[in-house]
Amino acid sequence: MTCGTGIQAKGSAASFRVATESEGYTCPITDPRVVNMPFNSTTLTLNRALNVSNTLRGNRNPTQPFQGNKDVSGDVVIPVDLKTVGWWFKKLTGAPTTLESVAASKSKATLPATLTIAGGAGAGTFSTGQTLAAVGDRVIYRASAGTARISAFMNTETTPDTVWTLETTRAGGTPAPNITAAVVIGIARNFAAASPGTIGVSAGVLTFSATQVGAVAGRQVLAAGGRRFKLVENTGTNIWTVVDEYGAPATADLAGGTALDAIEDATLWTHTFKVGATAGLESFVAEKGFTDMGVPMFFRYTGVKAGQFQLTAGGDQELVATISLIGADEEISYQPLSRVDHMTLISSAKPLADISSNAINFTAGGQTAVQVGDLVVYRETTGTLRAGVVVSEDVSNDVFTLEARSGSSTPDATGVTVEAIYPLGDDADLSANLFGDRFHQFDASVAVDSVTRGDVAEMQFSFNNQLDGEQYAIGAGGLRDDIPEGIAETGGSMTTLLKGADLVEAGAEVAELDMTLAFARGDSSLSLRLPESNISAANIPISGPEGIRASYDFQGYLNDDANGSSLVGTLVNEQQLYS
């Protein structure tokens, strides 16, 4: 047995992070909306063939092979959870339409009810007495012929239960605009103190000016001006760490003294995903991280698009989905995507240096951009990768004292290759960790023409963007120049217990069916609906004395359905926005 050269990376310590690109094939420099994705496995990688040369030169030994095009592709297997699945659907279909509501178990509204606001001063009259509402609560409503949500604070109760002065902020803002017979969606309870005071947010930390007994982890804070934060952890008197509307640590500060409007239970958001008729899909950066190595290593893939989504419902196995990915290029980094700044300070030409007595000397001249606190990643001539943090520098910018990441000394070495220099600055992890509860197989249901069926044993669902991965261009260095979307395919297969003839007849007659696979857990739900679909003729084998099953293939399409999409995905959860 030979001695190894370092610590072997383990899958249990691996990470998979994603971030939307600001423009195609460009890794975002500063993006607080990096998502730390839960995943079961991934095969995403760069493949580049070494093609055999057929050149003849009077010698049986082969000539040097030549490189093929770069092919970034692979799958990622994810749990079907309550929140992060929405990020993936945004990449699969496009941005959703998002509407706010209040969970029935938490709403103080007496429904059904309508709301009429008249007179220009925010005087709102409810058709049904709102006996549970209190001053400071927020009513959410919509126009009788619309879907967009409107909300207003119930600041003064002028006639018990029925007439309230409604304003845009708790502190007495602009009167809510006039509206007639608006449909009341819900009323969110305000847990803020009667004299709510003000708040300020700095570097992801929120400070209340007044004691807030109603401040509880998981609740949302609404500030004047529309900003929202979710409380994460109480770290001191009136001090909380918070995340923003994307679920990431709140990096956009809010000036102290901003009026506090409300503290509420997290409201629900209904995200509706439809297939875009012509709009292209967002590309993103995906990163595999191996964080337990002596020097952590990160493989970053740019220009990635989500091609196919597949899941199988039925049985008692773990509910997961497989997403097929295609991208453009790979780069190797020694800092994760979620740092504030992960760009190296050195150029593409990697400088040489000598390490002696914990000092690094750049043999080809100074690195003027390097300063105390930066991370230097270098490779010894033996191939061993090491990293050290700059703890001091001399005036010439040629020599820097390093301290190994573990706090120990750095061994002497000559002729090391400096792979990267990273400005550490704020070393905080800014990725959003959205994973929490998840859907299970027993949360599933299947409906055909709005009737829930009890005879479906298994359903395999698939959505495919049919991405074109063959668009290579001269001068692009073997990279894909673009990854166009094709005609979306929606379909799958299902197996049923043979108990009736309705599906058999629908397959034989090629009847149009409205099919839905849905999952529900608590106040959250996910539904995948094909408003227009056909199923194949039934396959009904007899393999022995056991129960008989029928299997069908199905395909969704768009003909004249009012939704205008072959797939309507609806996700209800507490996540407000997806990056």
pLDDT band at residue 496 using 50, 70 and 90 as cut-offs? very high
Question: How far apart are the C-alpha atoms of 238 and 199, rounded to whole Å?
Answer: 10
Exposure string for 198-216, b = 16+ CB within 10 A, e = fewer: bbbbeebbbbbbeebebbe
Residues 250-262 pLDDT 10s: 877 899 999 999 9
Q: Kindly state the average pLDDT of the residues 123-137.
A: 96
Instruction: Give the 3-state secondary structure percentages of the chain, helix then strand then coil, rounded to 5.
Output: 5, 45, 50
Angle (nearest 5°) at CA 301 between 72 and 526: 90
Of the two residues 197 and 338, the one the predictor is more confident about is 197
Domain housing 414:
352-422
Output the domain CATH number for residue 367.
2.30.30
Q: Please check the confidence at residue 571 and state whether its pLDDT lies above 90.
A: yes
When the pLDDT of each residue in the chain is averaged and rounded to a whole number, the result is 89
pLDDT band at residue 428 using 50, 70 and 90 as cut-offs? low
State the pLDDT at residue 514: 98
Q: Are residues 150 and 179 in the same domain?
A: yes
pLDDT band at residue 342 using 50, 70 and 90 as cut-offs? very low
Of the two residues 275 and 432, the one the predictor is more confident about is 275
Strands (DSSP E) found in 359-409: 359-362, 375-379, 385-393, 399-404
Residues 511-557 pLDDT 10s: 999 999 999 999 999 999 999 999 999 999 999 999 999 999 999 99
State the pLDDT at residue 400: 78
Q: Are residues 445 and 361 in the same domain?
A: no
Q: Are residues 122 and 107 in the same domain?
A: yes
pLDDT band at residue 5 using 50, 70 and 90 as cut-offs? low
Question: How far apart are the C-alpha atoms of 209 and 196, rounded to whole Å?
Answer: 8
Instruction: Identify whether the C-beta of residue 328 lies closer than 8 Å to the C-beta of residue 25.
Output: yes
Q: Please check the confidence at residue 460 and state whether its pLDDT lies above 90.
A: yes
Q: Are residues 110 and 86 in the same domain?
A: no
Q: Are residues 22 and 84 in the same domain?
A: yes
Q: Please check the confidence at residue 336 and state whether its pLDDT lies above 90.
A: no
Nearest to 43 by CA among 248, 232, 322, 281: 322
Cβ count within 10 A of residue 140: 20
428 within a domain of the structure (yes/no): no
Q: Are residues 224 and 322 in the same domain?
A: no
Residue 506, phi then psi, degrees to nearest 5: -65, -40
Instruction: Identify whether the C-beta of residue 91 lies closer than 8 Å to the C-beta of residue 262.
Output: no
143 within a domain of the structure (yes/no): yes
State the pLDDT at residue 98: 97
Q: Are residues 397 and 502 in the same domain?
A: no
Q: Are residues 515 and 500 in the same domain?
A: yes
Q: Please check the confidence at residue 509 and state whether its pLDDT lies above 60.
A: yes
Angle (nearest 5°) at CA 382 between 378 and 383: 50
Q: Please check the confidence at residue 579 and state whether its pLDDT lies above 80.
A: yes
Tokens of 153: 């604070």
Of the two residues 292 and 77, the one the predictor is more confident about is 77
547 within a domain of the structure (yes/no): yes
Q: Please check the confidence at residue 374 and state whether its pLDDT lies above 90.
A: no
Q: Please check the confidence at residue 397 and state whether its pLDDT lies above 70.
A: no
474 within a domain of the structure (yes/no): no
State the pLDDT at residue 365: 64
**Last-in-domain residue among 184, 210, 232:** 184
434 within a domain of the structure (yes/no): no
To the question of pTM greater than 0.85 for the whole model, the response is yes
Q: Are residues 452 and 568 in the same domain?
A: yes
Instruction: Identify whether the C-beta of residue 150 lies closer than 8 Å to the C-beta of residue 200.
Output: no
State the pLDDT at residue 560: 95
State the pLDDT at residue 198: 96
Q: Are residues 450 and 553 in the same domain?
A: yes
pLDDT band at residue 14 using 50, 70 and 90 as cut-offs? very high
Of the two residues 352 and 222, the one the predictor is more confident about is 222
Q: Please check the confidence at residue 363 and state whether its pLDDT lies above 80.
A: no
State the pLDDT at residue 439: 97
pLDDT band at residue 154 using 50, 70 and 90 as cut-offs? very high
Instruction: Identify whether the C-beta of residue 469 lies closer than 8 Å to the C-beta of residue 309.
Output: no
The β-bridge partners of 274 are: 568
406 within a domain of the structure (yes/no): yes
Residue 60, CA distances (Å) to 64, 150, 247 in order: 13, 78, 62
Q: Are residues 457 and 566 in the same domain?
A: yes
432 within a domain of the structure (yes/no): no
pLDDT band at residue 52 using 50, 70 and 90 as cut-offs? very high
Q: What is the share, in percent, of the chain residues with pLDDT greater than 90?
A: 70
pLDDT band at residue 28 using 50, 70 and 90 as cut-offs? very low
62 within a domain of the structure (yes/no): no
Q: How would DSSP label each residue in 554-577?
A: EEE--SS-TT-SS-EEEEEES---
Q: How many domains are there within the chain?
A: 5
Q: Please check the confidence at residue 128 and state whether its pLDDT lies above 70.
A: yes
Q: Are residues 409 and 452 in the same domain?
A: no
Q: Kindly state the average pLDDT of the residues 349-354.
A: 80
Highest-confidence range of 62-71, 165-174, 210-219, 427-436, by mean pLDDT?
210-219
pLDDT band at residue 183 using 50, 70 and 90 as cut-offs? very high
* Cα radius of gyration rounded to whole Å, the chain: 29
Output the domain CATH number for residue 38.
2.30.110.20
State the pLDDT at residue 510: 94
